[in-house]
Chains A and B, each alone.
Chain A
Amino acid sequence: MANNPYKVLGVKPGATKKEIKDAYNQLVKKYHPDKYKEEHMKELAEQKMKEINEAYDTLINGNYNERAAGQSYSSSNDGQSSGDYEFYQQVRRLIQAGRFSEAQNLLNDSKVRDAEWYYLMGVINVQYGNYNEGRALFERAMQLNPENSEYRAAYQQTLNGTFFSRRAGHARTDSDQCCKVCATLYCMDCCCEMGGGDFISCC
């Protein structure tokens, strides 16, 4: 995942096969191991070639596009099926509670790979200290659903190092209006209790 094949080849998502082939040929010329004299540079170039070849294979065989196409149905419109919504809410709750491995297991078992999936997987990876992977996953979520501000914010925050402080400060995005309302009510309740009143009687 860390290596986005489009990035490796330097082409835009949705590039034609010809464009991909041209980019590939250019890179092969540029990084050919025989161009380097020192042994260690040759070794590096070989690694680079391996990456280029892998990226080329993925794009030409359509493995990457297929996955992307399969998810566009749910990412193009925000109206996910209700089953998906429930599922992601459950994953989000687990993440919120710091139960990352359980959340990760749930995600791994799911067959759908849509923007939300990549985003939540990104959150878990960043929490585990896999910053590069997390960043790549956020980028993928952003590509699949460019309008979502939550994904974009997460990506930006990993880049400028505010991801954790923003979250701890409950700087939530619009998609969590509901949570905001609950939190406000809860806060009000706490304040009222201190003042002697009670806003929500059960807590």
Chain B
Amino acid sequence: MFGYIRPLVSEFDNYLFKSEYCSLCKTLGGRYGQLSRFLISYDITLLALVLSSLKKEPFQYRYENCLIHPVKKRRIKLIGEVEDFSAEVTAVMFRNKFLDQIRDEKGIQKSLYRSVYRMTGNWEKRIKNKKLLMLNKSLDEIYLLETVQKSSDVDVVSNAFGSILKRIMMIAADSLSIKIPVSVYDFSFLLGKWIYLMDAFEDLRKDLRKWSYNPLILSNKDLLLDGIERDDLIQDIVTNEKWRLELLLDHMYDCFMRFEKYLGVYNYEIDGIISRAIPVMTRRILDKTTKTTEKEEETDGE
């Protein structure tokens, strides 16, 4: 579900973001084993970056090598409370993702995910912040919303995921004793909503083919019942739902404007991600959804 935020290439002199990313990657490796480093996502990095900036600690770093970049030393932010917390968030979220996959997939993939889930069984014991485990319950609620209720309300389902990100920030405020402005909570809620929607758009074609749950399909059931051809159908769904994304981007930027003053040195980079990278990614995902043809997708191997 994660991984939709990508800093723009031209802006990859984003050294704060980069060093936060490396630091989070190292924390994951140290705590949950080398393989867990593949789970690192830009989205959680963004949350970590916002938390670091609100914590108002001076930016401290050192140069280190790592497995993926063995030659050139990289600037790595010193690991602190924020990175520990973000690593735990990553662990909890991915444990749940594996669980979802076990429920959804069939055959080999199902058993593959099951073994991964078992392998990572000890992660939860290692999580110091027990409040984070409460997220499991909220994530289960979304699962029910998707499978039992089969909600056709795009806002309800995406807001439920947004609430989880908001919840994470609330736990962070509590356990790291950071003062978090209301607009940051609102923003994390919207970021979650955005991530959910991006996921729904990206999976639209696959879900139509496999007939899996996707709120975008159910909320546009008229089009489906009218028997429109699949490519046109996807185009129509995207056209129907575009306003929601535009409004969401506007909403996110508005929230950011209200908390940018608290971000200090991090302001410039976070601004770059929110006001430029996120809109670009939105457009890219929509283009991908409408333009990928059936054949290309088959060879993608999903």
Contacts and interface: CB of A to CB of B under 8 A. Distances in A.
Give the dominant DSSP class at A's interface: helix
A158 interface: yes
B247 A131 contact: yes
B193 A129 contact: yes
B190 A129 contact: yes
Instruction: Name the residue among B158, B159, B162, B243 with the largest chain A CB count within 10 angstroms.
Output: B243
Contacts, number: 69
A31 interface: yes
A117 B221 CA distance: 31
B249 A161 contact: yes
Given A132-B153, A158-B247, A47 B190 contact: no
A47 B155 contact: no
A128 B162 CA distance: 11
Contact of B247 (A47, A133, A161): A161
Contacts of B254: 164-165, 167-168
Nearest to B257: A168
Contacts of A161: 243, 245-250
Interface string B245-263: 1111111011001000000
B155 A131 contact: yes
Interface in A84-140: 98, 126, 128-133
B300 interface: no
Give the dominant DSSP class at B's interface: helix
Contacts of B224: 41, 44
Nearest to A44: B221
Contacts of B162: 129
Interface string A135-171: 0000000000000000000000011111111011000
B166 to A, nearest CB: 10
Interface in A44-88: 44-45, 47-48
Contact of B159 (A48, A126, A130): A130
Size bracket, chain B contacts: 20 to 34
Size bracket, chain A contacts: 20 to 34
A160 to B, nearest CB: 7
B154 A40 contact: no
A45 to B, nearest CB: 6
A19 B159 CA distance: 38
Nearest to A47: B221
A62 to B, nearest CB: 26
Contact of A129 (B189, B211, B250, B257): B189
A52 to B, nearest CB: 11
B243 A158 contact: yes
A165 B250 CA distance: 6
B217 to A, nearest CB: 9
B278 to A, nearest CB: 13
A48 B221 contact: yes
A31 B224 CA distance: 11
Contacts of B182: 98
A2 B153 CA distance: 9
B287 to A, nearest CB: 18
A155 to B, nearest CB: 11
Interface of A: 2, 31, 36, 40-41, 44-45, 47-48, 98, 126, 128-133, 158-165, 167-168
Given A128-B159, A131-B155, 9 more contacts: A47-B221, A98-B182, A126-B247, A129-B190, A130-B155, A131-B248, A132-B153, A132-B154, A158-B243
